[in-house]
Amino acid sequence: MVKMPPDVKETLEKQKPVPIATASKDGVPNVVFVGLLKIVDDENIMIADNFFYKTAANLEQNPKISILCYNGDTKKSFQIKGSVTLCREGKDFETMRTWVHGINNKLPAKSCVMVKVDEIYNAMWGPAAGKKIA
């Protein structure tokens, strides 16, 4: 299990919106910004699917995701790679809907994208660029 260090969590929490990358089963990449992403615990991230189209199709076919975050104040940047579970019912789905509708009850909150953190890399330039940190 990979746990997000405090500086990774701090950087991810500061980044808004957050770019996420997915790929189709054929490897065609897709990157979008998401506004509703939150850290559940040291190993899990929740993303609300309100308007995903290609992203949703990609995650159905290939449940892998990459999340990029950057903090201009600390000059830290991280790439988080994870495995996705899609939920359209159950506890995680209801938690996501409550969260989303607490922000804006007009959003559809179609599905909950639960990300299990698999790997974390330094995404800042310099000698440690690309180095796996967790």
Q: Is residue 116 part of a domain?
A: yes
Q: Is residue 55 part of a domain?
A: yes
DSSP per-residue string spanning 34-91:
ES-EEEEETTEEEEEESS-SHHHHHHHH--EEEEEEEETTTTEEEEEEEEEEEESSSH
Q: Is residue 134 part of a domain?
A: no
pTM: 0.95
Q: Is residue 129 part of a domain?
A: no
For residue 1, the model assigns a pLDDT of 73
Instruction: Report the CATH number that the domain containing residue 97 is assigned in CATH.
Output: 2.30.110.10
Domain that residue 65 falls in: 6-122
Q: Is residue 43 part of a domain?
A: yes
* pLDDT, tens digit, 9 for 90 and up, residues 44-60: 999 999 999 999 999 99
For residue 134, the model assigns a pLDDT of 96
Q: What is the mean pLDDT of the chain?
A: 97
For residue 20, the model assigns a pLDDT of 98
Token pair recorded at residue 67: 């999340």
* pLDDT, tens digit, 9 for 90 and up, residues 84-127: 999 999 999 999 999 999 999 999 999 999 999 999 999 999 99
